Structure formats: structure tokens, C-alpha cells
A = this chain, B = another copy of it.
């Protein structure tokens, strides 16, 4: 199955970083094995739209095999990596063990509850397809139960959603929940009035969206409030229990709690024996290789780094794409030219093309090349850029149609409750 004369590259993770590496790495130079726990590449920036019933799963996910089907040099394996033996140059998965010449770790990040893992039982994270499908099932089922009950306090609790964290995930989720309640569901019930449902966004600091200017952050808060979202600043969550969120001065009763407050590096980082950041992310060298392991690289959300220009690299898709391309060039050069003693590799420099967050129909904020946009222009820019980066023509067409349909009808296409309730929740 393999030739021993050409080098073997193992890539862990089929997200933006891992796929960018594969795409930028030329055919015929090496044998690549791409490992992922799932069978799909996920377009995470639109995951909140699956959670809020606007898009369906295949709209934002594509089989990794299909994406690289024309690359006979790439073998895709669906397996979960248990640990990495860096000195022995081996990746140990649940189903097999792989030796490598070069390793690219693009395993991403996962939700963290900042020292309160028990909150995971009561507050959904939003990192995977399963997370999004569970949130969707949960919120739609809660409203069905509200329609059935005659206990008014319970009805109010069932119709309350708390979103924790005022970053892009929290802001986008809160806006999308508000539109679901205000528009999509408004005529569907006889006993409850979905437009009276409460959406509460909790932020521990004094403002939303830290990566934006204060003006744009204020504008985002104003737009959310126009949609009826209650934004609570300077509120650190004290506890999350079944059906309630405890804040410093009040307790919110809510059936649905979504946690968008933080992520940490994938746990496989801890098996490497290299220094990690406080958030469990890998501290890489300026060229993205691991300290002491010039043939092992880390890219994307699993990386904690400040580049040579002093920019702290954010955990966003463009950073992962740029890192994947950078490492592809380095590994190719290393294989083709051979490594020379004392060689200094080109450092990675992040090019910030801009930042944007959407709040709802015609509501968004964006910052790019010194410009600040709000409302319609920001929203259009958001739409176009997200479509551009969505993998696959079919997904683009399907998402455009779903969005156009929602725009004209205020309906959302993916409101079907199904699936097995996970055992622990």
C-alpha cells in the first residue's frame, strides 16, 4: 500500500487548518494520511444557524473523503487520536498506530467551562454538529412543552434562553434565537406567544465583542436590544444548575442554556510533552513547529502564539487557513531540498483581513482595512464572505437558497425535532 522511499505526512484534523495544508501541499511529493474523529469538514462559522434551525446539517458539513477524492496521495481515516509519541514519531489512534516523517496537528479546540466541568450537563457547548443538533432539538422541544403546560411560571421558564459569553458565538446565537422567537414561530402556537420568549445574553466584562472597536461593540449591543435580547454586562456566572443560571445578584430560570464563553486546545496537546498555554493550547516556535521537534507542526485553534509582528493570533478560520498554507510550504521545501544544519525557517505572520459578526436580518458589525461597517453593508459583506469560504458548490447553492427563503418568508427550514436525547443530558 505504501512506498518507503517517499515521506509520510500525518495530518490530525480535517478542519480549516488541516484541509488548507492538504490543498497547498503539492501532489507527488509525499504520502499524506488525514485523520479525523468525524467523517466531515465542518464550516464552524455557520454552526449557530444549525443550532437555531436556519440551516440543515449537510449545508455546512461535507465528507472529508469527497473533498480530497481526487488526491490519490491522501488517505483519509476516521479515527480518534489518543496520544502522540513525539520522540518516537508515532501517532496512536483508537484503531491504529501510524509512524510519520512529518506531523501536522490541526485538532482544534473544544468548549471549556473554566474549571466547572459539571456545568456541561446543563449548558450546551457549540463546537460540533452534535452540539448544534442537540441545541435545536432542545429549544424546539421546550416550546412544544410550553404549549402543553398550564403552569404559567413553568411556561415562562421553558420560553427562556440564556446565552453565556458576549463574544461572536454568543452574539450570533442570541440574535438568531431572538429572530426564531420573533418571526419564525410567531403564528405557530395557540397557547404560548413565542414573541414573549426571553433571550438573555450574559457577559462577564463591561462590553461585547472584544476584538472590535468600542463603537462597533456598542452598536452590536444596541442591535441585539432592538431584537429584544436582554444583555447583562459585568455578570460573572456563579453556578449553572438544571434549569437555572446563578448570577452575582439574581438567579435566572431558563430551560435552555448555551455556553459560548470559552474554548481550550484539544486534549491531545497535553500528550506531547511540550509547554501549553493556560487554555491548553500548544506554544509553537515562530515557524509553527514544536519546540525541539522541527518535523512536528501545530496549526489553527490548537495553537497559542504571538507572531513576530506582535499580533496575538485569534482562533478564527482565516488564521487556520494561513497557517496551513505556511506549513505546507515549509514541509515541501524541507522534503524537496532536504534540511540543512542551522537553517532558519520563515516565521508565520498573520494577515488580519478583518473581523465580522452578524446579529440578524440586515444587522451586523464588521471591521476591515480601517473601515467600520454596521447594518446592511456589514450584513451583506458577512453573507458574501461566508459563502465564499463555504466548501463546495452544492453547499453554497443550498445555503443561498435557505437564506433567500428565510429572507422572504421569515421561515426557517430546519425545524424538525428528531434524534436520540444523549444519555447524560
Whether A230 is near chain B, meaning CB under 8 Å from some CB there, is no
**Known contacts A144-B78, A190-B1; is-contact A405 B394 (Cβ 8 Å):** yes
**Known contacts A65-B189, A188-B69; is-contact A95 B419 (Cβ 8 Å):** no
A176 → B minimal CB distance (Å): 16
Whether A411 is near chain B, meaning CB under 8 Å from some CB there, is yes
Whether A415 is near chain B, meaning CB under 8 Å from some CB there, is yes
Q: Which of B58, B69, B405, B415 contacts A56 (CB 8 A)?
A: B58
Q: Which residues of B contact A401 (CB under 8 A)?
A: 397-398, 401
Q: How large is the interface on A (under 10, 10 to 19, 20 to 34, 35 or more residues)?
A: 35 or more
Report whether A418 and B1 are in contact in the complex, using a CB–CB cutoff of 8 Å.
no
Q: Which residues of B contact A72 (CB under 8 A)?
A: 190
Give the distance in Å from the alpha carbon of A191 to the alpha carbon of B56 in the complex: 31
Give the distance in Å from the alpha carbon of A401 to the alpha carbon of B61 in the complex: 17
Report whether A130 and B420 are in contact in the complex, using a CB–CB cutoff of 8 Å.
yes
Q: Which residues of B contact A133 (CB under 8 A)?
A: 418-419
Closest to A394 in B: B405
Whether A332 is near chain B, meaning CB under 8 Å from some CB there, is no
Q: Which residues of B contact A417 (CB under 8 A)?
A: 38-40, 78
Listed by A's residue number, 18 A-B pairs whose Cβ atoms lie within 8 Å are A38-B417, A39-B140, A39-B415, A40-B418, A56-B56, A57-B418, A58-B413, A65-B188, A69-B188, A77-B148, A78-B141, A129-B418, A130-B418, A394-B411, A397-B401, A398-B398, A419-B420, A423-B423
